[in-house]
Structure 1
């Protein structure tokens, strides 16, 4: 406890900087309205400073809709950040619905591409975060290897949960 008080949070592994979920209330997306992944991305870019504060320490914005092409097919990573504390790229894929195994496979391809073609030898492995409206723990369990340290699914809330919802999460 004394060490934590003196030095603050010590970052040793990717999960040390990732939150269990993110609250994106500052985007002003209403739960009852239908919005697209593009609306979500535009909202984040328009309020990038707020989003980066929500992410936490060490994040630097690198770009949006980063394109890479192979064998004539183009792919786009929604948001690319670099975390200077982890010394690695952090890729975000934005999903407005429930997580699927296809989402995880797509992110695995993005992470593999960045690790093999973009990152420098001295940098740590790329991290992929699928920011989704609803996680699917069983899909995560059976799609990702047990020792996974690079791909994460994180829920977001467009509005702060009610007191009742917070009690359910805690309780």
Structure 2
């Protein structure tokens, strides 16, 4: 994967004006958990961070959620008031058109996350 990372890094740096390489496997700490962005750039012209996630396998919808999480984390932890919202790019080895189109649709819909505890009765029945 590091050979791929090297080529993509070189490619993005040559893409055009304004891209500054911030880091690879860029560490973010959210709560008590550690996360590592594959590549993080800052575009001076757009005044925003750019997160690039690389997947060496086919696209699955969970990747869109992961990237959305990273974008929010960068906006909260790194973005200054003068910066625009973070942009994300996901590069996969293969993608199925319909899954790729559906995954990011309405990603901003209201959602909640909760936790559950199995009762002893439920544990026995499982």
TM above 0.5: yes
Consecutive unaligned residues in structure 2, runs of 5 or more: 109-126
Match of 1:102 in 2: 62
8 Å CA contact 1:88–1:126 kept in 2: the answer is yes
**Deviation readout 1:9-47 (Å, 9 max, x if unpaired):** xxxxxxxxxxxxxxxxxxxxxxxxxxxx34422x338xx
CA RMSD of aligned residues (A): 2.3
1:139 and 2:112 aligned: no
Consecutive unaligned residues in structure 1, runs of 5 or more: 1-36, 149-171
Match of 1:128 in 2: 88
Tell me the TM-score normalised to structure 2 length. Answer: 0.73
- Change in 2 beyond 3 A, CA 1:83/1:108: same
Tell me the TM-score normalised to structure 1 length. Answer: 0.56
- Cα deviation for residue 117 of structure 1 reads 1.7
Q: Distance in 1 between matches of 2:2 and 2:35?
A: 15
Q: Specify which structure has the bigger relative contact order, considering alpha-carbon pairs within 8 angstroms and separated by 6 or more residues.
A: 1
8 Å CA contact 1:80–1:91 kept in 2: the answer is yes
- Change in 2 beyond 3 A, CA 1:75/1:143: same
| Equivalent residues, number | 108
Match of 1:52 in 2: 13
More strand by share: 2
